[in-house]
């Protein structure tokens, strides 16, 4: 499959001629052809202007038409076949089986959003019919629904080159809502990005949509990203990545003359609290589950458990002993990029060099820099020390976790209260533990977007009830999820139509309810026509 190494701007290739860059295979530390050409500032501006024009047409497409488009994208991605998996494997170092699974997740996600917009009730239609004889004043006919926000700029993540990238959750939910999308390709997987962008473009052609419904921009980091966020046509931003980059985009968006929302999913420690009964009954099993969870994907999941709280005692000792015994056989893994590896090594070194922190155990195999490898490892410290050193509550993105030993249940609760916003928090407890765990669970519900009992946070189901979000600094907007069907709400706004003749109303609000939506009529949910 021939890659041209150019941006895809409103259906046409970008101009070569600017700076170029190559992808690197992290498994071998070698450069992969071809060269990719960065888009110019003028191309970025023209693309967003074109996206705004396309939006005026695309937003008017019915839910059924948008559903067909999303399904066509899924088919086109599947039609890319083996070369997509090969290229993603080369660019990310992720195992092919994982990438095949991720492709399934990506296409499943597109089809799930297709089903949401085909069914259509997500628009939250509300109708309060006119009350012409009401005293002292009549009521006008008022009808309200959600409509698309505008062109959305998406910054894909490094760690999910398919499911959180060019045709990932942000793009799928924005297109579903009726927004046009401009993706800034991640520099770690530009070839994967190009392949997926061509698949989307083919679906645009098949469905007869405006070419600027989707564009892909290659570029050099902050400058071009900030320009995309600052462009007047941009209506919202989706981002998955580091805290520093996410905050920079947020600051750029909120300091615009016309501020826009930014949905940045940034960092999370995903603390686990193992209560005494569970530790006594199944400490060894939890140790095994923890190892699997924090080393999965070489620890490069936003939901990796990076902090584990236990209470001092023989069971905590046994738990650490078991974990220490498991670590040596844990294999090294290739990280996504050498930059991520270096940041991980540096961050882990900062944590393990903090006074009162001891390394508990590590994998026995040495990590190869050539293969961009990281070695799984675990450190341990006391709760008192944890509370004294805020750096211990910052994320080391990679296969590392920190066990924090509290002297008392109160100290464990104090650790929970001291935590910043998280994507997830987990409690392990037996029946007796959980009978008194309500205060801890209430604390965790305030700091995390998802709270688990007796599980592990890695593995984020794509479904209506999922919430992948959380208080800052986990995300910049705790009111929304970036995974699951509710992610569509990020890219919509309500409009109220007052005293419209029926024929001029959107179908979702017409008297006959031609779309068969569940609507709130006079405050009561119903699928009936008026």
Q: Which of residues 441-470 bind a copy of itself (CB under 8 A)?
A: 441-442, 445-446, 448-455, 459, 461, 463-467, 469
Q: Is 254 in the site for a copy of itself (CB under 8 A)?
A: yes
CA end-to-end span of the chain: 55
Cα 324 from Cα 326, distance rounded (Å):
5
CB 472 to a copy of itself: min, Å: 4
CB 455 to a copy of itself: min, Å: 5
Q: Is 523 in the site for a copy of itself (CB under 8 A)?
A: yes
**Which one-letter DSSP state was computed for residue 39?**
P
Buried b (16+ CB within 10 A) or exposed e, 154-167: bbbbbbbbbbbbbb
Q: Is 265 a catalytic residue?
A: yes
CB 154 to a copy of itself: min, Å: 18
Q: Nearest Cα to 144, choosing from 506, 455, 409?
A: 506
Find the binding residues for a copy of itself in span 111-140 (CB under 8 A). 121, 124, 126-128, 136-137, 139-140
Pick the piece of the chain touching a copy of itself (CB under 8 A) from 77-85, 145-153, 206-214, 322-330. 145-153
Residues pairing with 272 in the sheet: 308, 426
CB 3 to a copy of itself: min, Å: 31
Pick the piece of the chain touching a copy of itself (CB under 8 A) from 200-208, 282-290, 365-373, 436-444. 436-444
Pick the piece of the chain touching a copy of itself (CB under 8 A) from 172-180, 275-283, 297-305, 521-529. 521-529
Q: Nearest Cα to 220, choosing from 16, 12, 9, 19?
A: 19
Pick the piece of the chain touching a copy of itself (CB under 8 A) from 296-304, 328-336, 390-398, 430-438. 430-438
Q: Which of 30, 498, 511, 529 binds a copy of itself (CB under 8 A)?
A: 498
Cβ atoms of 76 and 200 closer than 8 Å: yes
CB 499 to a copy of itself: min, Å: 5
Cα 253 from Cα 155, distance rounded (Å):
14
Q: Angle formed by the axes of helices 169-177 and 63-80, to 10°?
A: 150
Catalytic residue among 38, 71, 76, 265: 265
Q: Is 173 in the site for a copy of itself (CB under 8 A)?
A: no
Q: Is 496 a catalytic residue?
A: no
Q: Nearest Cα to 448, choosing from 476, 409, 427, 420?
A: 420
Q: Which of 68, 157, 476, 513 binds a copy of itself (CB under 8 A)?
A: 476
Find the binding residues for a copy of itself in span 393-422 (CB under 8 A). 420-421
Q: Is 142 in the site for a copy of itself (CB under 8 A)?
A: yes
- Binding-site size, a copy of itself (CB under 8 A): 77
Cβ atoms of 139 and 148 closer than 8 Å: no
Q: Is 479 in the site for a copy of itself (CB under 8 A)?
A: yes
Query: By rule CB under 8 A, what string of x and - marks binding of each residue 84-113 to a copy of itself?
Result: -----------------x------------
3-state secondary structure of 230: helix
CA 502 to chain centre: 40
Cα 187 from Cα 195, distance rounded (Å):
14
310 Cβ neighbours under 8 A, 6+ residues apart: 274, 279, 316, 319, 403, 404, 405, 406
Active centre residues (catalytic) = 265, 302
């Amino acid at each position: 499959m021939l890659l041209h190494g150019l941006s895809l701007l409103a259906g046409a290739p970008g101009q070569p001629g600017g700076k170029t860059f190559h992808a690197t295979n992290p498994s071998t530390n070698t450069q992969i052809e071809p060269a990719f050409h960065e888009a110019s500032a003028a191309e970025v501006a023209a693309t967003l202007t074109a996206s705004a024009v396309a939006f005026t047409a695309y937003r008017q497409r019915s839910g059924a038409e948008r559903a067909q488009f999303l399904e066509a994208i899924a088919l086109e991605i599947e039609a890319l076949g083996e070369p997509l998996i090969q290229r993603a494997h080369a660019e990310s170092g992720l195992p092919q089986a994982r990438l095949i699974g991720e492709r399934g997740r990506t296409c499943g996600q597109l089809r799930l959003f297709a089903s949401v917009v085909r069914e259509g009730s997500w628009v939250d239609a509300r109708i309060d019919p006119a009350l012409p004889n009401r005293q002292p004043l009549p009521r006008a006919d008022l009808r309200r629904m959600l409509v698309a926000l505008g062109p959305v700029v998406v910054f894909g993540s490094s760690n999910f080159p398919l499911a959180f990238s060019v045709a990932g959750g942000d793009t799928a939910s924005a297109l579903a809502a009726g927004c046009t999308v401009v993706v800034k390709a991640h520099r770690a997987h530009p070839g994967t990005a190009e392949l997926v962008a061509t698949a989307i473009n083919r679906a645009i052609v098949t469905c007869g949509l405006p070419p600027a419904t989707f564009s892909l921009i290659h570029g050099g980091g902050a400058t071009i990203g900030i320009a995309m966020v600052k462009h007047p046509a941009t209506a919202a931003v989706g981002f998955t990545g580091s805290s520093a980059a996410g905050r920079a985009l947020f600051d750029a968006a909120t300091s615009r003359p016309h501020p826009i929302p930014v949905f940045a999913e940034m960092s999370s420690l995903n603390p686990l609290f193992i209560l005494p009964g569970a530790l006594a009954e199944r400490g060894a099993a939890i140790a095994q589950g923890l190892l699997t969870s924090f080393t999965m994907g070489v620890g490069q999941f936003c939901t990796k458990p990076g902090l584990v709280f236990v209470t001092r005692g023989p069971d905590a000792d046994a738990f650490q002993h078991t974990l220490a015994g498991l670590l040596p056989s844990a294999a090294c893994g290739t990280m996504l990029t050498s930059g991520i590896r270096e940041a991980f090594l540096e961050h882990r070194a900062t944590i393990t060099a903090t006074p009162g922190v001891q390394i508990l155990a590590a994998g026995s195999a040495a990590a190869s820099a050539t293969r961009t490898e990281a070695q799984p490892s675990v450190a341990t410290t006391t709760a008192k020390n944890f509370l004294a050193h805020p750096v211990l509550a910052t994320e080391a993105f990679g296969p590392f976790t920190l066990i924090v030993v509290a002297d008392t249940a109160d100290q464990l609760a104090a650790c929970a209260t001291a935590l910043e916003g998280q994507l997830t928090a987990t409690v392990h407890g037996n029946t007796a533990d959980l009978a008194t765990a309500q205060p801890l669970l209430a604390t965790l519900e305030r700091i995390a977007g998802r709270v688990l009992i007796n599980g592990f946070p890695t593995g984020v189901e794509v479904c209506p009830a999922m919430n992948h979000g959380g208080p800052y600094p986990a995300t910049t907007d705790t009111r929304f999820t970036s995974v699951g069907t509710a992610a569509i709400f990020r890219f919509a706004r309500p409009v109220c139509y007052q005293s419209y003749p029926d024929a001029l109303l959107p179908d979702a609000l017409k008297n006959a309810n031609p779309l068969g939506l569940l609507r709130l009529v006079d405050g009561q949910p119903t699928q009936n026509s008026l």
